[in-house]
Chain A
């Protein structure tokens, strides 16, 4: 599938509200950081708003309009603004886990199944050639990285599937921090492949 198609699908699924918590957080951060994506989302929302006009009516049983005028519980703002910080807290205070030198991760598990991961790479650090068992979504929050397919900076998204093999390298000046969702394990290739796949292998023993 074409990358733009997959990206638009993600935006559309977010706009319509069908995504689970992990992907919602990912997508809303993307829309915060990327004005093009945000414009696409607005187009979808206009369409979905039109649909709401024609939606069926299921009348609330115990709700009158006056109940909505004395409601003290309306929060000051939705926490969809700066979703990463409101979810993870200040990134500088996280207990990052060092996977190998210069490469750190911090992982949140949602409902025991979805994983939302922050990745921090020191300047110039690379990830050996690898591919993905399922789709992988990466959003750059700070700094930049590049790989065989291009350069990705703050607000850029990369969606990889099984067909993609790549060797990302963090910018020599800034390093990078990314938010990622990986549907299945990463598969490494080359000289150090087995060593880096250790985690995946070990995990499989324990299933």
Chain B
């Protein structure tokens, strides 16, 4: 379809809420938008839903389109692109880091507290003196961001034990760093 033709159809939607004009815009863009989602590895069920949302936006928010600023295809592309980003974010697992091991290790110190060799020795001590289970718990807590509850479930030990052991390990690590 010619660009000028598409622009005329869009004007009819904006001015008169012309349904026949919208059906033509739909016939032209829906398969291309749907293809964009599929090219971006979104499954067919979801691509169709997203395509519906994009074309619904074109109809409901037609007044937001300004033909002096961009081509209709650019406007529709950006709606589709933003829907895709929103979709990915909604389907992501987001964790805010509750605890940071550095808070325990550095303890609010000024950074000029250690000579190079001293620090190396301390690090080695931590590595040597923690046993495998202690390492696993620190890993789960601080580097995999798992809650104490989750660690207790996975290691099949009581919640109270997890809490006290992690506290114990951290105290031990802090001693090494003194």
For the complex formed, measure the closest distance between the CB of B97 and the CB atoms of chain A, giving whole angstroms.
4
Of B32, B51, B135, the residue contacting A55 (CB under 8 A) is B32
In A59-113, the 8 Å CB interface with B consists of: 59-63, 65, 67-69, 71, 73-74, 78-80, 95, 97-101, 105-112
Contact B60 A74 (CB under 8 A): yes
Contact A57 B36 (CB under 8 A): no
Binds B, one of A11-19, A133-141, A149-157, A164-172: A11-19
In A2-36, the 8 Å CB interface with B consists of: 15-21, 24-25, 28
Residue A1 at the chain B interface, CB threshold 8 Å:
no
Most buried by A among B73, B86, B130: B73
Residue B30 at the chain A interface, CB threshold 8 Å:
yes
Most buried by A among B53, B55, B89: B89
Contact B119 A71 (CB under 8 A): no
Contact B88 A61 (CB under 8 A): no
Instruction: Decide yes or no: A49 and B75 within 8 Å by CB, A108-B94, A203-B143 being known contacts.
Output: yes
12 contacts between A and B (CB under 8 A): A46-B71, A49-B70, A52-B29, A53-B32, A62-B48, A73-B53, A74-B56, A100-B108, A101-B108, A112-B95, A199-B105, A205-B130
Interface residues of A (CB under 8 A from B): 15-21, 24-25, 28, 42, 45-46, 48-53, 55-63, 65, 67-69, 71, 73-74, 78-80, 95, 97-101, 105-112, 128, 191-196, 198-199, 201-203, 205-207
